[in-house]
Structure 1
Amino acid sequence: MSTVPTFLRKAMPPPPAPKGPISCGSFGLAAQGAPWKYTLHHDRAENFLLWITRGQGRVTINGIRRGVSMHSALYLPAGTLMSIDLPNTAQALYLESPAGLTGTLPKEPLLLRVRDSLAQAELTGAIDTMQRELAQRRPFLDDAIAAHVSLVGVWLNRQLRAGSADAPKEKAAERLTRRFAQMVTRDYRTPMLMADYAEALDVTPTHLTRVCRQCSGRTAADILTERKLHAARIALERPKPTVQQVARDLGFASPAYFTRFMQNHTGLSPSALRNRTKARA
């Protein structure tokens, strides 16, 4: 029989259990051995938070490149096209949590410059606490982790209210690049080429290329290529599906074309990449 009073059970329902994997800890360790998982443009099914505690680097959010430095917090909701490039000298913590786990997390990407020392310590402490919870695997782990993620959402909203957001007014070039990035996250598995995206956006391929390079340092074709390459490499880390199915799933005209694509960008065939992953396992 529960020892919690009835009136508390009705007023304070337990946090929802996680709907997928939650991970947190050192960003450097997470990226070790496979930096492409973060440097290539991609979007994730999970919400992602990066907290930089030392050094500086660059991030790209929906096609817009920004500099980040110590005490920058980057929050990216699931489905945000992203690229993170931090040198080895930088130090950062990360938190990845399932979409829909809590209603406190913001709905839009955020880049925060946190100057308050207490707020800095709060976020570092929250991620450290979750890391210990995941390592110790104590009873009610799911409830504890869900509650901590919810508190991180509260922290983000408090910083937003405090004016910590780095959100300059969006220019026309950035609006176009963001719209292109959002289309890429939706359609990169189709056979659409960069010119098809430009037509859908009612601009010329030349203009889209120029604008994307201006905003992100990469052309529109580069961004689309990176998104497909990231998805392909993730798929090839697993024993299934077949190489032919991966090619079809990513909109390639033939497995042979897919093989040339992978060799051009990685130096290895799809089968060789998969076999290398097996050898490391």
Structure 2
Amino acid sequence: MQTAPWKYTLSHDREEDCLLWITRGQGRVTINGLRRGVSMHHAIFLPAGTLFALDLQQGTQALFVQSPHGLAPRMPQEPMLLRIRDALAQAELTGEIDAMARETQRARPLMGDALEARLQLVAIWLRRQIETGAVEAPEETAALRLVRRYARLVTREFRSAEPIAHHAGVLGVTPTHLSRVCRQCCGKTAADLLTERRLHAARVALESPRPPVQEIARGLGFASPAYFTRFIQSHTGLTPSALRAGVSRPSPRRA
């Protein structure tokens, strides 16, 4: 997972299915609005469309697999956190992920078929762990159900300009109650989760030389490019143009 930290620390969802296998260290993961602790030998499965964020401590090592949604039909359909205690099962998953990495590095004939076959084996591995009771399922509460519904709403509506009051109304609660429940479940307000999703989308778009900044702003529901610029600058310390150019955030001066 050698990439810019914001790509994982900001709440976002992906079009692909994702599997994270922690081999060393610890941290926290927020899945559909619920924050949970993770450590070595935790496997985290995130189907496409799952709102998530990772906060891993320095020195943590993890293997990450991302695959097109539906490529392995036997993959679980819901996000889950699994604690793998069996040494053989731990070695099996590490071996399958390492084999996929070697396959992509060599680029041999029928590489796509080989990767798909490996992915099917990972799906079977996940099913076996589910059968053996490795899933650490959270207690179902009214708060969890609400924050989960809100997370799904965020993934669908983050490009709109609708305020939190609108989203709370769709869910049948007040904005105050929604934010209180979000903070209870993940330490962030409803506005924080929505802001992070929009910021992540903006930063992904700004990694490319196209489209124009004003088009990105319009696509994310901002009333004007100037408002979008203020939004980006307030959260990163840089303008959209500077981010696109790859400028590092300035460090604070010492007295």
* Normalised TM-score (structure 1): 0.87
Q: Which residue of 2 aligns with 1:107?
A: 77
Deviations 1:120-179 (A, max 9, x none): 000000000000000011111000000001110000010001100000321111110000
Question: Which residue of 21, 42, 48 maps to 1:72?
Answer: 42
Q: Which residue of 1 aligns with 2:101?
A: 131
Report which of the two structures shows the higher radius of gyration computed on alpha carbons.
1
Deviations 1:99-121 (A, max 9, x none): 11111111110100011100000
Q: Which residue of 1 aligns with 2:242?
A: 272
Q: Take 1:276 and 1:110, find their aligned partners in 2: how far apart are those partners?
A: 35
Matches within 5 A, 1:236-247: 236-247=206-217
Give the letter for the 1:254 counterpart: S
Give the match's secondary structure for 2:29: strand
Deviations 1:176-196 (A, max 9, x none): 000000000000001111111
Alignment of 1:193 onto 2:163: yes
Give the match's secondary structure for 2:159: coil
Matches within 5 A, 1:243-258: 243-258=213-228
Q: Take 1:81 and 1:263, find their aligned partners in 2: how far apart are those partners?
A: 24
Question: Which residue of 126, 148, 169 maps to 1:178?
Answer: 148
Give the match's secondary structure for 2:54: strand
Give the match's secondary structure for 2:28: strand
Identity %: 63
Q: Take 1:123 and 1:194, find their aligned partners in 2: how far apart are those partners?
A: 41
* Normalised TM-score (structure 2): 0.95
Give the letter for the 2:163 counterpart: L
Deviations 1:56-97 (A, max 9, x none): 100000000010011000000000000011112211111011
Alignment of 1:260 onto 2:253: no
Give the letter for the 1:217 counterpart: G
Question: Which residue of 167, 185, 189 maps to 2:137?
Answer: 167
Deviations 1:231-257 (A, max 9, x none): 000000001111000001000111111
Alignment of 1:45 onto 2:15: yes
**Cα RMSD, aligned residues only:** 0.8
Give the letter for the 1:88 counterpart: Q
Alignment of 1:205 onto 2:167: no
Give the match's secondary structure for 1:139: coil
Give the letter for the 1:215 counterpart: C
Q: Take 2:19 and 2:51, find their aligned partners in 1: how far apart are those partners?
A: 14
Question: Which residue of 45, 52, 63 maps to 1:82?
Answer: 52
Give the match's secondary structure for 1:209: helix
Q: Take 2:207 and 2:165, find their aligned partners in 1: how far apart are those partners?
A: 30
**Unaligned 5+ residue runs, structure 2?**
248-255
Question: Which residue of 94, 98, 117 maps to 1:147?
Answer: 117
Q: Which residue of 2 aligns with 1:19?
A: none
**Unaligned 5+ residue runs, structure 1?**
1-26
Q: Take 1:60 and 1:102, find their aligned partners in 2: how far apart are those partners?
A: 24
Which shifted more, 98-107 or 229-238?
Answer: 98-107
Alignment of 1:234 onto 2:204: yes
Give the match's secondary structure for 1:276: coil
Query: How many aligned positions are there?
Result: 247
